[in-house]
Structure 1
Amino acid sequence: MDYYAGLDVSMEETHICIVDRDGGVIHETRVASTPADIDAALMEAPACRRVVFETGRMAPMLYHGLTQRDVPVICVESRQAYQALKSLATHKTDRNDARGLAHLARTGFFKPVHVKSLAAHAIRALIIARKKLVGQRVTLENQIRGLAVAFGVRLPRSLSPAFIEQALQASNGVDGLSAATQGLIAARTAVMAAVAAIDTDIRKLTRASDACRRLMSIPGVGQLTALAFVAAVDDPERFKRSRDIGAYFGLVPRRYQSGEVDYTGSISKCGDRRVRTLLYEAANVMLTRFKGPLKLKNWAFAIAKRSTMRKARIALARRLAIIMHAMLKHGTEFKLA
């Protein structure tokens, strides 16, 4: 007889429920949320055909840890699981959620989610940290600028050397303002040093990656865009067609159809927001800064002529994503034409 398991994972504990093919509960327990403890608990019951759990912060570690132990684990989208679990139990408890996930595993009414490799998650963590630090730098610079404006001083661009000099001159001799400005400048200096260290790591990673070097041959695609795209795709073979990558990054129009209503709106904005933003910026650089002849650029300008420049950038970003995925999948080079 076939058996199926559901795992309701939290930071400390994981509730496990195992059912047979008729839906009868065979085994229930809860253990620490580690691959070793979960595998040991599953070994106490009959071998399971499928083990299902939801996406979450613990998903990468548990998925790869259980896969290494030959557990037939499958990760499902939490939003899809939520709708199914809501209809299976009146009360939301960890025990009921584990039972509901076990029934999902039994019925097969789910869509598996690709769990990225731990190396890809490490790269994404680096990119997220950089974005947060850059945001903090901008916040500090705006605060310094706001303090100086109150005393009639308009500071130059934040990244120019004169920014710090004029900020210190404006606060010199003013009790309270001088200490506040110096503290903000010291924090800004520390943040910029951290950003520079991350940029050094990004340069090392892109130089060591053949895929990133090939993607950077595309006009407008820099180190950050190439590295973020490679980490987001992780395994190019998981996409059957390169054109599917546009929907994965939310660069296709949103559509709603029900009866006589058939609405097509703006892009769906699903998937990785950072990669979508970087692709949009790469498209903008190609259209505004690249001066050489390029069919992609002419194609986008034709769209802008009959529509808007914004839609042309989005269309070009989607086309860039398709080309970049094809380059990763087939190992080809970009040719200027």
Structure 2
Amino acid sequence: MIADTDYWVGIDAGHAECAICLIDRAGNVLLEAVRDSNAGAVTDILRVFGVERVQAITIEAGVGVHIVRKLLNRGLPIRVVDPRKSSKFLSIRRQKTDPSDARGLAELGRLGVSIGAGIHINRPDQDDIRIQLNVRRSILNCRIRTDAAIRSILHRHGASLSVGNSPGKLRFEVTRVLLERKRQGYAVRADLMRLVTVGEVLRSQLADLDREMSSLAESIDVCAILQTMPGVGPLTALSFYSAIGDPHRFSRNADVGPYLGLAPALRQSGATAHRGRVGRFGNKMARNHLIIGATLILTQCKSESRLRSWGLDLMSRTNFIKARVAVARKMAVVLLQMWKSGVPFDAKL
């Protein structure tokens, strides 16, 4: 069957299945279906109704990114919306089901409702960097929990433990503490060494991953330029690079601050206006890395720059917490400008 009218498509994608809804110009439902969550299942439906008739395909950002990429490669009109914003529109419906959400997304596309800029889809190589960063974060969290468990066990026996991040140091320190406790008449179960082995493996994996990511950052011209700024290392450069994707989608460099959730939220009603905490929207990892970089600039950086002087002056007038967030926001703006221009960091600017 070939549709003789224009139609709009809404897709509510899940890990295994996706709900698909097609509606015509009047809002009548042409099809509601649940298919496997892949682009082939979607295009099969579009061929039946006429690919040339589809006006817009609306899908929420999230697990359906593989569908989006393949549909974009086929030249189809894809609109990726922010779930945090589209959920307000979808909540109008009484029923909260996947087919209902798919129909709501189709209606969103048909009405042409503006809910802000669409979601940017990064290139696959930039997504691979995000995966590496997430893997590192997961391993780091496991190492932190393992270290905490070891410290807790030793603390129950009156011992304290202080170790670094380098492989081999944990086993050496734990063995030293256990021998000391044994001489003092304390008996610590040997099961503790199982945790020590896990901690050593995690440290070794982190060290290998950090070396790989350092080499990767040096091999990417943009990241090499970003690292010329004080406080920006391989992880921060890669995190910023993969979070932004395309620098030219920001017409104003100042827009990158709110995009990463580093701008204060403004709440205004009538004669009352309140500027609250930062929005914390966008990419959490990139935001955290920038804040860490800002902390280094304010506390440990030895090279002087206008950015550091501005941050220290702000810190003297407010407090450290507000100053480091403001410096992180300014860092994001400067990094975006460096990316666009291809010029390394200039301490005088």
Q: TM-score, normalised by structure 2?
A: 0.90
Residue 347 of structure 2 is matched in structure 1 by: 336
SS at match of 2:91: helix
- Specify the code of the residue in structure 1 equivalent to 2:256: I
- Specify the code of the residue in structure 1 equivalent to 2:242: A
Q: Give the 5 Å matches for 1:52-91.
A: 52-56=58-62, 58-87=63-92, 89-91=93-95
CA displacement at 1:206 relative to structure 2: 0.6
Cα RMSD, aligned residues only? 2.0
Residue 57 of structure 2 is matched in structure 1 by: 51
Of the three residues 286, 304, 316, the one matched with 1:305 is 316
Residue 131 of structure 1 is matched in structure 2 by: 137
Residue 238 of structure 1 is matched in structure 2 by: 249
- Specify the code of the residue in structure 1 equivalent to 2:25: R
Q: Once structures 1 and 2 are overlaid, which stretch shifts more, 241-250 or 119-128?
A: 119-128
SS at match of 1:226: helix
Instruction: Check if 1:209 corresponds to 2:209.
Output: no
- Specify the code of the residue in structure 1 equivalent to 2:21: C
Residue 289 of structure 2 is matched in structure 1 by: 278
Contact 1:249–1:270 (Cα < 8 Å) also in 2: yes
Mapped partners of 2:198, 2:187: distance in 1: 17
- Specify the code of the residue in structure 2 equivalent to 1:39: T
**Which digits, 9 at most, give the CA deviation of each residue in 1:3-51, with x for residues without a partner?**
2111121222222221122212223333211111211111111320100
Q: Once structures 1 and 2 are overlaid, which stretch shifts more, 176-185 or 223-232?
A: 176-185
Instruction: Check if 1:257 corresponds to 2:268.
Output: yes
- Specify the code of the residue in structure 2 equivalent to 1:10: G
Contact 1:296–1:316 (Cα < 8 Å) also in 2: yes
SS at match of 2:30: strand
Mapped partners of 2:152, 2:299: distance in 1: 32
Residue 166 of structure 1 is matched in structure 2 by: 176
Mapped partners of 1:184, 1:220: distance in 2: 33
SS at match of 2:257: helix
Pair 1:105–1:72, CA change in 2 (3 A): same
CA displacement at 1:129 relative to structure 2: 1.5
Contact 2:157–2:188 (Cα < 8 Å) also in 1: no
Contact 1:172–1:178 (Cα < 8 Å) also in 2: no
Contact 2:165–2:203 (Cα < 8 Å) also in 1: no
Mapped partners of 2:141, 2:30: distance in 1: 51
Mapped partners of 1:328, 1:201: distance in 2: 22
Pair 1:176–1:75, CA change in 2 (3 A): farther
Unpaired segments ≥5 residues, structure 2: none
Q: Once structures 1 and 2 are overlaid, which stretch shifts more, 278-287 or 160-169?
A: 160-169
- Specify the code of the residue in structure 2 equivalent to 1:76: V
CA displacement at 1:171 relative to structure 2: 6.5
Contact 2:157–2:186 (Cα < 8 Å) also in 1: no
CA displacement at 1:164 relative to structure 2: 3.0
Pair 1:167–1:187, CA change in 2 (3 A): farther
Mapped partners of 1:74, 1:105: distance in 2: 8
Contact 2:307–2:347 (Cα < 8 Å) also in 1: no
Q: TM-score, normalised by structure 1?
A: 0.93
SS at match of 2:190: helix
Q: Give the 5 Å matches for 1:310-329.
A: 310-329=321-340
Pair 1:44–1:285, CA change in 2 (3 A): same
Mapped partners of 2:177, 2:279: distance in 1: 43
CA displacement at 1:269 relative to structure 2: 1.4
Number of equivalent positions: 335
Q: Once structures 1 and 2 are overlaid, which stretch shifts more, 3-12 or 146-155?
A: 146-155
Residue 35 of structure 1 is matched in structure 2 by: 39
Unpaired segments ≥5 residues, structure 1: none
SS at match of 1:153: coil
**Which digits, 9 at most, give the CA deviation of each residue in 1:118-160, with x for residues without a partner?**
2222211211221221122122122222222222222233447
Q: Once structures 1 and 2 are overlaid, which stretch shifts more, 232-241 or 282-291?
A: 282-291
Mapped partners of 2:187, 2:29: distance in 1: 68
Residue 144 of structure 1 is matched in structure 2 by: 150
- Specify the code of the residue in structure 2 equivalent to 1:291: K
- Specify the code of the residue in structure 2 equivalent to 1:107: L
Mapped partners of 2:196, 2:100: distance in 1: 53
Instruction: Check if 1:290 corresponds to 2:264.
Output: no
SS at match of 2:346: coil
Contact 2:8–2:54 (Cα < 8 Å) also in 1: yes
Q: Once structures 1 and 2 are overlaid, which stretch shifts more, 239-248 or 107-116?
A: 107-116
Contact 2:217–2:238 (Cα < 8 Å) also in 1: yes
Residue 3 of structure 1 is matched in structure 2 by: 7
Contact 2:12–2:98 (Cα < 8 Å) also in 1: yes
Residue 106 of structure 1 is matched in structure 2 by: 110
CA displacement at 1:80 relative to structure 2: 2.1
Instruction: Check if 1:121 corresponds to 2:130.
Output: no
Mapped partners of 1:171, 1:40: distance in 2: 69
